[in-house]
Structure 1
């Protein structure tokens, strides 16, 4: 079972979004038959069996084993992954394009960057899985609490300068065997269930210096 599987087919995405099928996928973190799932989910076995066949058809579940019980063969299924991500490629015609309105201070642009990241990394993972290879990647996840909007602005400026310096130091346009990577750095408030003390747009930060424009640097190898 994979840790994460990326869904790139519209029909598979539609199948995974059905509430009953999503419940079956969650239940199949541990292998089970239609009879076992029916008991777990409180559904008729025939209904579970129908949805299992649809999930299997789209590659979201797979046969784990067959058990012979008297004259009956029980089919035991498992989910193909512990969790699933639907790639924006499913909505390719209307997915956000970061090249459309690049704006370092725009939350919508940050969302477009994230969408592209999911799409590209998903394609890399899918290709690597088929080839039996691993994807070389690197990620940083951190939280920082700013005392003021001015501190946030200063942080953004310093971060932009640091990234620009690193990109300029290591980018090599002339190496024939080199691989282009993409670097994505984002900064956003952590959503909370309580109202923040001030608006998210308090004292807009000045536009940080843009890094040089090498061929898009990245978090994942392009394969």
Structure 2
């Protein structure tokens, strides 16, 4: 089972976003039968079987063996991932694209950048999985509390200078066998209703 599956096909996104099917996916972190699921979600087994067939046809669940129960043989199913993200690519030409945003200090530009990360990394990860290889990435996630807008501006200037110096030091446009990487730095006010988490850097 994958930690996260990025959904790129619009038809698969429609299936996954259905409230009943989304609930079934959440219940299938561990293998279960249609009868098990019917009892948990309060639906008739025939209805659950209908939804499971749709999920299986779109590769959101897979068979996980069989078991005998009351003289019958039940099929077990399990979700293909612990969580799912719909790629902006599923929206086709109306998907957010940073190339269409002029104001690089706007929230819409930040959202478009985040959407591009999901689309590009999702595609790269899928190809890496198919090739049974790891995808080299870097993630840094932390929080910072600024005393004032002036402090935030000073931090922005210092960070920009540091990144510019690092890029100048390590970027080699003529490196034989080198590979281009995207580097993004994002910052936005933390939502007040979000639970506090331990600060981490990975």
1:37 maps to 37
**Secondary structure at the counterpart of residue 98 of structure 2:** coil
* 1:204-219 aligned within 5 A: none
Higher alpha-carbon deviation: 13-22 or 101-110: 101-110
1:204 maps to none
Supply the distance in 2 between the matched residues of 1:76 and 1:34 (Cα, whole angstroms).
8
Would the alpha carbon gap of residues 64 and 91 (structure 1) be closer, same or farther in structure 2, given more than 3 Å must change? Answer: same
2:168 maps to 168
Q: CA deviation at 1:153?
A: 1.0
Listed one character per residue, the Cα deviations across residues 50-109 of structure 1 (whole Å, up to 9, x for unaligned) are: 001100111110000012346532000000000011111101211111122343421110
Supply the distance in 2 between the matched residues of 1:147 and 1:185 (Cα, whole angstroms).
21
Q: CA deviation at 1:161?
A: 1.2
Report the TM-score, using the length of structure 2 for normalisation: 0.92
Q: Report how many residues are paired.
A: 194
Q: Does the 8 Å CA contact 2:101/2:108 hold for their aligned counterparts?
A: no
* 1:107-186 aligned within 5 A: 107-186=107-186
4+ residue stretches of structure 1 with deviation over 3 A? 68-71
Would the alpha carbon gap of residues 169 and 178 (structure 1) be closer, same or farther in structure 2, given more than 3 Å must change? Answer: same
1:86 maps to 86
**Secondary structure at the counterpart of residue 193 of structure 1:** coil
Structure 2 unaligned blocks of 5 or more: 195-202
**Secondary structure at the counterpart of residue 92 of structure 1:** helix
Higher alpha-carbon deviation: 55-64 or 157-166: 157-166
Q: CA deviation at 1:142?
A: 0.5
Q: Does the 8 Å CA contact 2:10/2:90 hold for their aligned counterparts?
A: yes
Q: CA deviation at 1:177?
A: 0.3
More helix per residue: 2
Listed one character per residue, the Cα deviations across residues 174-194 of structure 1 (whole Å, up to 9, x for unaligned) are: 112001100010010011239
2:200 maps to none
Structure 1 unaligned blocks of 5 or more: 195-223
Q: Does 1:50 align with 2:50?
A: yes
1:193 maps to 193
CA RMSD after TM alignment? 1.4
1:75 maps to 75
Q: CA deviation at 1:163?
A: 1.1
Supply the distance in 1 between the matched residues of 2:165 and 2:102 (Cα, whole angstroms).
20
Q: Does the 8 Å CA contact 2:61/2:80 hold for their aligned counterparts?
A: yes
